[in-house]
Amino acid sequence: MTRADCKLTVVHGPSGVGKSSIIKAGLVPALKQNSIGERMALPVVLSVYTDWITVLGRSLNQVIAHTSISLAIEITVEVILEKLRLLADSNYTVILIFDQLEEFFFVKQDTVQRVEFYKFFNKCLNIPFVKVILSLREDYLHYLLEFERLSYLEKEDFLQFGSN
């Protein structure tokens, strides 16, 4: 977690082995008590995905209530990304934890519904001092390949569009 080039961690295993317990009872309290390098760690946990933008925005607001960053009144993907950038600029490392991510795939069964999340996820990985932890059952790991494939297709579409 302390290395700048390690932006993504995937915690996976069979159902019922304690992935969520490790995160909620072990990792999150440890992050709250320690810094990452010279930066304060701010873990933000999301485990409800029906309206993931609103839930993530509220969770982020709870975390930033203890900082000098103002709360987001309107919650959109762009507002969340802007708050993450502000926190990074203010000597914080934000750790976005998507716990039980398989629930996202239950709720958002249509690939088109997933694209907004995938785009957000990709943008988060490109913000300095923002790290992402995914926790999911091992039988859902193949969905991460869908993300990679869709990201590649979007780049291809963009390149084709840009050359016309």
Please check whether residue 51 lies inside any domain of the structure: yes
Please check whether residue 153 lies inside any domain of the structure: yes
- Give the CA-trace dihedral at 29, 34, 39, 42, to 10 degrees: 10
| Higher per-residue pLDDT: 67 or 157 | 67
- Domain enclosing residue 87, as ranges: 8-163
pLDDT band at residue 156, thresholds of 50, 70 and 90? very low
- What pLDDT score does 154 carry? 54
Can you tell me the mean pLDDT for 36-41?
A: 88
Domain count, the chain: 1
- What pLDDT score does 26 carry? 92
Q: What is the pTM of this model?
A: 0.86
Is the pLDDT at 125 greater than 50? The verdict is yes
- What pLDDT score does 151 carry? 59
Indicate the range of 1-10, 17-26, 96-105, 129-138 predicted with least confidence. 1-10
Please check whether residue 3 lies inside any domain of the structure: no
- Quickly count: other Cβ atoms within 10 Å of residue 52's Cβ: 20
Can you tell me the mean pLDDT for 43-58?
A: 94
- What pLDDT score does 150 carry? 65
Which residue has tokens 């950038």? Answer: 85
Please check whether residue 126 lies inside any domain of the structure: yes
User: pLDDT tens-digit profile of 91-113?
Assistant: 999 999 999 999 998 898 887 77
* Residue 42, domain CATH: 3.40.50.300
Please check whether residue 139 lies inside any domain of the structure: yes
Please, where are the H alpha helices in 6-141? 19-21, 28-33, 52-64, 77-89, 102-107, 111-125
Is the pLDDT at 153 greater than 60? The verdict is no
